Amino acid sequence: MTVSNPLLDFSGLPRFDVIFPAHVQPVITQLLDDNRALVERLADDPRPASWGSFAAPLADGIERLSRAWGIVGHLHSVNDVPDWRNAYNQMLPEVSRFYAELGQNLKLFAKYKAILEGAEYPTLSPARRKIIDNEVRDFRLSGAELPEDKKPRFQAIQEELAALAAKFSENLLDATNAFAEIVTDEAELSGLPADVIEAAREAAEKDNKAGWKFTLHMPSYWPVLQFADSRRLREALYHASATRAAEFGPSELDNTPLIRRILELRQEEARMLGYRNFAEVSLAPKMAESVEQVLGFLRDLAKKARPFAEKDVAELRDFARRELHLETLEAWDMGYASEKLREKRYAFSEQDVKPYFTEPKVLAGLFHVIESLYGMRIKPDSAPVWHEDVRFFRIENADGELVGQFYLDPYARETKRGGAWMDEAISRRRLASGMQKPVAYLACNFPRPVGEKDGKPRPATFSHSDVETLFHEAGHGLHHLLTRVEELGVSGIHGVEWDAVELPSQFMENYCWDWDVLRRMSGHVDTGEALPRELFDKMLAARNFQSGMQTVRQIEFALFDMLLHSEFNPHDSREKHSAPGVLDLLRAVREEVAVTFPPAWNRFPNSFSHIFAGGYAAGYYSYKWAEVLSADSYAAFEEAGNPFDPGVSQRFLDEIIAVGGARPALESFRAFRGRDPQVDALLRHSGMIAN
C-alpha cells in the first residue's frame, strides 16, 4: 500500500470517483497495524496520563481508521454489489476484533480512570470531561474489567455479532431483490397512480419484459398496498414482503437462525458484564434509567392510545364491510381500506397532494426552513460521488463562512439498502491546522423521476410522507453539521444518548405541517400551481387519521424489542427452521397492545433490521421517547406564536443542536425548555387529547 491509495487520503472529502474495492484490504490492514502500534505506545508510556499526552493522540489515530472504514461501510450500504460486499465482509472481522481489543485494554482503561481521578480533570472543558466520563463507562461496557481468561470469548462475541448483523442486512436486501411481480393484465393496474404505473412499465422494459414490474422496494410496494384495486396483486406483494428472509424462501437467505444466534450472543455478553440481560447493557448509556421505566413508559402510552386505536379499527372494519364489501379485513387490505376511508371522510388522498411536491420545490422549501430557523445558507457544491443520482451541498453561515457539507442520495436502487438514514462522513473537531468541518450523508429511497414533459424529464414527485422523511433525515444531518463542539468524542451526534438522538429529526417533521412552509415548497408538476389552501385544510383535517392505530403499532415494535432483550430466553427456542419462541412473544405483545393482527405466516422479526442489523437493539422505544422530547420542543414555538420565532430558534440551536453530546440530553432539554419533558404535547399533536 502507498499513500496513493485514495482511502488513505484524509486531506478533504472522500474521493468516491477513484475508490474501488481493491483499495479496502491494504488500507484497513495498515490502519489497524498503525493503531495497534499507537495503542501499545500510549499504553506503555510511563508518564502520567493527560489529555494532551494520551486522550488526544489516541482519538487522532482512531479517527483515521473510523473515517476510512466509514467510507467502506457507506459504500456497502449504497452500492451493495458483490465486489463491495466481499471487500466489506473480508475486513469486518478484523475491524470488529480491533475495537473489541481496544475496549478491553486495561492499560488504556487505567489511564482514562487516572485522568478522571486526577488533578487535571476539573480543569478540562466540559466537553473533554464528558468524553472522559463516557470512555470510562464504555470501557466497562466493553469488558475491560473482565478476567483475562474471559476476554477472548468476549472479543469473539463482538466479532460474531458484527458479522451476523451484516449478514442479516444482506439477506434482507437479497430477499427483497429476489421478488418481482410481472403484471400483464392492464385491468390489474386499476387504482394505481399514473407515475407508479409508468415506473413499473419502465422497470419491466429494463428487464426486457412485457407488462409492468412491481417489486418489494418501497416506491413500488407501498402504492400497491395503498391504491391497487386488485386484491390479488395486493396479497401477492404483501405475502412476499411479510415472508422475506424466512424459512419459506432459500435457506441461505433465512434470517431465523441469525435471530436466534444474535439473541444468544447478546444474552451471553450481558451475563459476562454482570447484567441480568442485554436490555440493561443497552440502557446503560441512554437517558432511560431502567427496563422497568421503559416498559412503564410504553405501557402507559399504550393505555392512553388504545381507546383511540380501537375506535380507528372499528371504523375501518365497518367502512370496509359497508363500502368495499370486504367482510374480512386482511392485512393486505388495511392500507387500501384506510386510503379509501380517508378519501371518503376528508375528500383527500395522498395522490391528490403528490403532484404538488416536486423534488426541486421540496428541496428549496427544506433549505428555506433551515435558513429561517438557523440563519444558514445552503448552496449547491461539487464533490466526487458514488452514483450519478447523488448531489452535494454546502452550508454557510450569515457571514459566508463554511459550516459543513452534505451528500443527498434520494432514490431507491436495487443495490441500496432500504429505509432512510443519515450518517457521518467527517466530524467537526479542532485540529492544529484549524477547524475540521463536518460532512454528512443523507440517504433516502424515494421514487425516481419517470416520464417526460415537453421533451424533458419530469422531476420526481414526493408523497407528503416522503417529504416528512426528507425533513426527518435533514434534522439528523443538522444535528451533525451545526454542532459548535470542537472535541470529536462529543461533536454533533457523537455521545448523544440514543433515546435522545431522534429529537432533532422528529422536530423537523413539524414544519411539514405548516401552511406557509408547504405553500412555499409546492408547485404542481404540470402547472406549477402552489398547493391550494383547500387541499391543505383537508390534509390537516386528516393529519391524525388513525393516529391511535399508528401509535399502538409503534409501541408494539418497541415493547417486543424491549421484552425480547430483557425477559425472553433464546435458549428455549431450538427448532431448526423457525423461532416459535420469538413469534410467541410477538403474539403476546400484540394481544396486550395491538388492535390488528397479521396472518400467522407473517415473519416480521426476519426483516426487523433496526434491532438485528442496526443500533436499535433494546432501543426501539427511542422513537416514542424522543417524540415526547420533540413535540414538547416544538410546543415552545407554538407558545411563542411563530414556528420561526427568532428567540426560540436561537435557544433551540444553542441548547439542543449545537451542544451535541457535550452534556446529558436531559440537561440540554431543561436548558431549552426550563423544565422536564411532558407527554401532553405529543398526545395533543397526535389528536389523542383535546387541543
Burial of 626 (0-12, 13-18, 19+ CB in 10 A): buried
> In 10 A of CB 430, how many CB atoms?
13
Burial of 432 (0-12, 13-18, 19+ CB in 10 A): exposed
Q: Which listed residue (473, 502, 509, 556) is catalytic?
A: 473
Overall residue count recorded for the chain in this entry: 691
Rg over CA atoms, the chain:
25
Provide the sign of the torsion angle of the four alpha carbons 237, 239, 245, 248, taken in this order.
negative
Task: Tell me, yes or no, if 350 is annotated catalytic.
Answer: no
Q: Which amino acid is present at 84?
A: W
> Are 120 and 58 a contacting pair, CB within 8 Å?
no
CA atoms within 13 A on the CB side of 507: 31
DSSP annotation string for 264-300: HHHHHHHHHTT-SSHHHHHHTTSS---HHHHHHHHHH
Angle of CA points 517, 519, 525, to nearest 5°: 125
CA distance 522 to 350: 14
359-374 vs 464-481: helix crossing angle, rounded to 10: 40
**Exposed e or buried b for every residue in 646-675, given b needs 16+ CB within 10 A?**
eebbebbbebbbbbbbbbbbeebbeebbee
Give me 424's grid cell.
457521518
Instruction: List, in sequence order, every beta strand (DSSP E) within 255-412.
Output: 377-380, 391-396, 402-411
CA distance 391 to 388: 8
Instruction: Tell me which residue has cell 449545537.
Output: 658
Cα distances from 455 to residues 26, 42, 387, 413, in angstroms, run 48, 64, 24, 25
Provide the sign of the torsion angle of the four alpha carbons 161, 166, 167, 171, taken in this order.
positive
Torsions phi, psi of 408, nearest 5?
-125, 120
CA distance 154 to 161: 11
Q: Give which of 509, 485, 507 is closest to 496, Cα–Cα.
A: 485
CA distance 542 to 580: 39
> In 10 A of CB 364, how many CB atoms?
14
Residues with a catalytic annotation lie at: 473
